[in-house]
Amino acid sequence: MTAFVFGIVAVILVWPAPSWLASAQWPLRAPRAAMALWQSIALAAVLSAFSCGLSIASNMLTLDEQGRPVANPLEEVATLGIVRWTAYITVFLLTLFVGARLIYSVIRVSMRTRARRSAHRQLVDLLDRMDRSAPDSPLSARDVRMLEVDQPMAYCLPGLRQRVVLSEGTVARLTRDELEAVISHERAHLRARHDLILEAFIAVHDAFPRFVRSRSALGAVQLLVELLADDTAIRTSGRTHLGRALVACADSVAPSGAMAIGGPSTLARVKRLSDTRPTMLISTLAYTAAAAILVIPTLAVAIPWLNELHRLIST
């Protein structure tokens, strides 16, 4: 029963829950609380999946009074029955698959992304056309680079050597205040290390089989990351300047591994700038749900194992 419950919880947290949350409108008003809820769902899904495998493994082994296995799992066919034994083995192997895929995805995404960023950072430094003769200009900062491109383009390259990359088309279209809003938006990504959040969600998304994971989850998290950076730009430059900058850079693109200020979510982000309704109640409910989703599966896993450890130590 424990393995069954953990399995159901893992499936719910991987598929229906993310699909519902991705289609909801309230995260646009409270992106920070929504991000906390997304992170708790992802972590609880992984914990529930592993807990399901651990519960099955414990059911497949006959333990003595000291908790040591005394039987081979293959010998449990007669005790459990072929149907139940096959179901146990299938789910257990699926859990191992998810764990292996998660480790592989984390390593693959991390290595590939950093390799692309390093190569692109070197290229940007070589092609930089920035004139830093005006010390009071926002463009004279050491981390800002400008490329000789007419198309509006603004993005950032996270890492140890962070870069904010603009095109000549962006600089020509925007006023000083709008440029400051764009740079503030990109620096918010860099300070908060939103790239690490996205990498973690990509790894979790790739770890679970396609038939159970939500397709819209990753896109929803990417939108929340942009909203969080927008909120920082609002505090430094105001809603009007940020809104004009978003419209001017709506078709901005970025290379793989970078985060552009524009994109398909620009319209929703511009509309959001006019919404000034209070979000205290929504944020409180979201944080409460995030804590419950994360704490309940964790306690459900920890308490039985702590009890078993206490029993083994006491004997």
pLDDT of residue 68: 59
Please report, rounded to a whole number, the percentage of residues in the chain having pLDDT higher than 90. 51
pLDDT of residue 34: 97
Q: pTM score, two decimals?
A: 0.86
Both tokens assigned to 199 = 């990498």
DSSP state at residue 257: T
- 3-state class of 149 per DSSP? coil
pLDDT of residue 257: 77
Both tokens assigned to 160 = 């140890």
pLDDT of residue 8: 86
Domain residue limits, the chain: 2-314
Query: What is the four-CA torsion angle of 268, 184, 228, 105, rounded to 10 degrees?
Result: 100
Please give the mean pLDDT across all residues of the chain.
86
Query: What is the four-CA torsion angle of 144, 148, 150, 156, rounded to 10 degrees?
Result: -30
**pLDDT tens-digit readout, 26-59:** 999 999 999 999 999 999 988 888 888 877 877 6
pLDDT of residue 88: 81
Mark the ranges of the chain whose per-residue pLDDT is less than 50.
none
pLDDT of residue 236: 92
Single-letter residue type at 18: P
Single-letter residue type at 293: I
pLDDT of residue 20: 92
Angle at which helices 82-127 and 194-207 pack, to 10 degrees?
A: 150
Please report how many Cα atoms fall inside a 13 Å half-sphere around the Cα of residue 296, on the Cβ side.
Answer: 13
